A = this chain, B = another copy of it.
Amino acid sequence: MRAARMHEYHKPLILEDVPVPDISAGEVLVKVTAAGMCRTDCQLVDGYFRKYADLPLPLTPGHEIAGTIEKIGSAVPKIAGFADGDQAVVVGGWGDDICRLCHEGNTQICVHGKWPGFSAYGGYSEYVLVPFQYLIKVDKSLNLKAEELAPMTDAGLTPYRGIKKLRDAGALGPGRLFGVFGVGGLGTYAVQYAKLLGGGATVVAFARNQAKLDTAKDLGADHVISTKGKSQDDIRAELKRATGQAELDAVIDCAGAPEMIQLGFSLLAPQAHYCSVGLVGDSISIPLFPFVAREYTYHGSFWGNYNDLAEVVALVQQGKIRHNLKVANFEEINENLELLRTGDILGRAVIKF
């Protein structure tokens, strides 16, 4: 099968032929129909994660995977309801099945995790093997497009989990001001979840790029604010003019740039909740006194688990999610990685097979 593999750090992927992997009893062989491209893939090539995990090379990137079921292992329970040809999406964070986190379903933060797209096999190839517990069937009768499903497994999943954390913490609801920071691959979905889960919260999108802000408005943001070239005071004043309130009750940060985090915390109301899902930067530097005296809560939220993705798929099946995609061919992977690196893609890039 064709695969685009990373053999060295800081080098383009190599498109080559590799054998289709052998299936085990509890696995499903999935024919990849679309694979989303994530800024994380650039960071992987650029060595951002190297200090945290030393991954064996070569590896096949691609952790946003939609496909069709090609072969079903002998021990996969009938009750799973899988059949050859079924459309399915892949839960990407596989755990050790032993630790406390796995035993509550949060396999994506298991310290012994093994993930497609960060190991020998990934979405940038024609087939992947998936343990049956990490595969979610999609209703075939809806004829959903593969390129719209693939990004839901990360870009469309990660902000969903983060916003759920904010909602479950009681930070959303009528009269609350909810900021969405960053309107890229994740943020275009975040704006939609902010409305769907906000329970009446007023949603304000913040970004530097006007085209992205226009997208946010189109996707339902009540207000949008460009941060480009503006001081924290400017932005606070603009927020007040737009909404009548100068402070945010909740933030989902899909970017993660250090100055965005500083801006965000400078705008928080007492008892506000801030949730980081974006990883553009690598450090948090904020003042302590207001953090304590105003009782902020800061949540790290990572990707999503099986149930999170099942909920996202339910929303997609209900037709509640709109997409903002750039579809490309397998052969165009390297040039699109480059566009991702420079931030020159609106919405999400997806490789379609």
Complex Cα spacing A290 to B197, Å = 27
Contacts known (A25-B25, A285-B284); A294 close to B109, Cβ less than 8 A: yes
CB distance from A93 to the nearest CB of B (A): 10
Contacts known (A104-B307, A174-B311, A311-B174); A292 close to B301, Cβ less than 8 A: yes
Contacts known (A170-B168, A314-B175); A292 close to B300, Cβ less than 8 A: yes
Q: Are A315 and B174 in contact (CB under 8 A)?
A: yes
- Contact of A105 with B by CB under 8 A: yes
Residues of B within 8 Å of A336, CB to CB, are none
Q: Are A300 and B293 in contact (CB under 8 A)?
A: yes
Residues of B within 8 Å of A284, CB to CB, are 284-288, 291
Q: Are A283 and B285 in contact (CB under 8 A)?
A: yes
- Contact of A21 with B by CB under 8 A: no
Residues of B within 8 Å of A109, CB to CB, are 270-271, 293-295
Residues of B within 8 Å of A106, CB to CB, are 271, 295
Residue ID in chain B nearest A131 by CB atoms: B97
Binary contact readout A297-332 vs B (1 if CB under 8 angstroms, 0 otherwise): 111111001110011101100101000000000000
Select which of B104, B199, B311 is within 8 A of A196 by beta carbon: B199
CB distance from A298 to the nearest CB of B (A): 4
Q: Are A100 and B310 in contact (CB under 8 A)?
A: yes
Select which of B100, B104, B196, B290 is within 8 A of A52 by beta carbon: B290
> Can you identify 21 A-B contacts, CB atoms within 8 angstroms?
A77-B97, A77-B98, A100-B307, A100-B310, A101-B271, A104-B104, A104-B307, A168-B168, A174-B315, A200-B318, A279-B288, A279-B292, A284-B286, A284-B288, A292-B300, A294-B300, A295-B299, A295-B300, A295-B301, A297-B299, A298-B298
Kindly list the 7 A-B residue pairs having the minimum CB-CB distance in the complex, ordered from nearest.
A174-B314, A175-B314, A298-B298, A174-B311, A292-B300, A103-B306, A291-B300
